[in-house]
């Protein structure tokens, strides 16, 4: 037990140190070389983060094992580490240089968000750990919208506070998943105040989730966003941001996703969760290197697969 605790604390210390080193490097690196720095960090991370690399390979084989070669899968994994490094560097650089956001992010579909907000019931901004999602959330706030984002606390308190402060500076309210009652109350309050609430629906939700198909395999998925929309009549608006070849970003705001109607409440939630997961999968299929493959998306298994 003590060895496990030492291992976790060591990992958190290394994480804090890595962020501070990155902040220092960013300060001394000319802005035109920030992507060179990100490339170096990505290569180093891919070499030393053995566990995360293995998780990425495992997930990619589940998703694309029947469609892509091992060489193609490895390339996506390498590119996904590059994406993560660029996200981290950009978040630290762009938030201290707001003019960069205007130059590097183009938005398509703002009228869809305006149309949804015009109903006065709030918007559940449905998204994923895809592309530079932190920058996407901040960018919507910078357009003048009232924005909240639902997220888990990070394991390291210093890192958690650092990123919360950054989000707060740019007008993004952090709603943490724990304590649960407070999280639910804050989401409902934000929606009733006609705000935009970002919720990512692409992570394993364990025993509390419902199972829907994701790349042909059952994945435990949160039903919260759908339940909130049903309770408050809020619109569900999918939003995703992906990177162009020149490192600019395109933020896509899709039309409101209609609730799928089932024969009862549970079926309605399940059908809608599948519909929203299909939207996420469509983006991951088009831009596989933009998704966070270091997460165990298929970790929880349905009861029938566990032989219970």
How would you classify the pairing of strands 235-243 and 249-253?
antiparallel
The pLDDT assigned to 307 comes to: 58
Q: 7 lies in a domain?
A: yes
- Judge whether 93 and 26 are in contact, CB under 8 Å: yes
Total domains in the fold of the chain: 1
**Residue 138, burial from CB neighbour count under 10 angstroms (0-12, 13-18, 19+):** buried
Q: Which residue has 């608006």 as its token pair? A: 237
Interval 247-288: pLDDT, tens: 999 999 999 999 999 999 999 999 999 999 999 999 999 999
The pLDDT assigned to 164 comes to: 84
CA of 24: how far to CAs of 8, 20, 224, in Å?
24, 6, 39
- Judge whether 195 and 148 are in contact, CB under 8 Å: yes
Q: 77 lies in a domain?
A: yes
Element (H, E) at 176: strand 172-176
Q: 308 lies in a domain?
A: no
pLDDT exceeds 50 at position 7: no
The pLDDT assigned to 47 comes to: 94
The pLDDT assigned to 6 comes to: 45
Helices 34-48 and 70-94 sit at what angle, rounded to 10 degrees?
Answer: 130
Interval 183-239: pLDDT, tens: 999 999 999 999 999 999 999 998 788 999 999 999 999 999 999 999 999 999 999
- Judge whether 148 and 196 are in contact, CB under 8 Å: yes
Q: State the number of CA atoms in the 13 A half-sphere of 41 facing the CB.
A: 23
Domain extent at residue 34: 2-303
Q: 53 lies in a domain?
A: yes
Q: How many other CB atoms are found less than 10 A from the CB of residue 26?
A: 17
The pLDDT assigned to 245 comes to: 93
What average pLDDT does this structure show over 39-60?
Answer: 94
- Judge whether 239 and 276 are in contact, CB under 8 Å: no
Token pair for 36: 């060179």
Q: 274 lies in a domain?
A: yes
């Amino acid at each position: 037990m003590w060895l496990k605790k030492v291992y976790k604390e060591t990992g958190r210390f290394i994480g804090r140190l890595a962020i501070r080193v990155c902040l220092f490097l960013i300060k001394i690196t000319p802005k035109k070389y920030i992507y060179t720095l990100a490339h170096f960090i990505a290569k180093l991370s891919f070499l030393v983060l053995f566990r995360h690399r293995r998780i990425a390979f495992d997930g990619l084989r589940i998703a694309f094992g029947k469609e892509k070669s091992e060489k193609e899968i490895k390339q996506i994994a390498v590119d996904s580490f590059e994406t993560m490094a660029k996200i981290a560097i950009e978040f630290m650089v762009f938030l201290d240089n707001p003019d960069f956001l205007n130059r590097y992010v183009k938005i398509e579909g703002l009228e869809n968000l305006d149309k949804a907000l015009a109903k006065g019931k709030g918007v559940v901004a449905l998204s994923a750990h895809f592309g530079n999602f932190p920058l996407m959330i901040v960018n919507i706030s910078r357009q003048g919208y009232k924005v909240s984002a639902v997220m888990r606390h990070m394991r390291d308190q210093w890192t958690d506070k650092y990123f919360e402060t950054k989000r707060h500076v740019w007008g993004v309210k952090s709603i943490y998943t724990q304590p649960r009652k407070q999280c639910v109350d804050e989401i409902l309050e934000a929606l009733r105040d006609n705000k935009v609430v970002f919720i990512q629906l692409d992570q394993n939700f364990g025993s509390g989730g419902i199972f829907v198909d994701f790349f042909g395999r059952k994945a435990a998925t949160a039903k919260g966003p759908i339940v909130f929309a049903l309770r408050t009549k809020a619109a569900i608006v999918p939003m995703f941001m992906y990177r162009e070849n020149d490192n600019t970003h395109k933020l896509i705001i899709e039309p409101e996703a209609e609730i799928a109607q089932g024969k009862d409440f549970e079926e309605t939630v399940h059908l809608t969760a599948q519909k929203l997961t299909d939207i996420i999968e469509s983006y991951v299929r088009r831009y596989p290197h933009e998704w966070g493959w270091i997460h165990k998306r298929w970790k929880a298994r349905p009861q029938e697969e566990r032989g219970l």
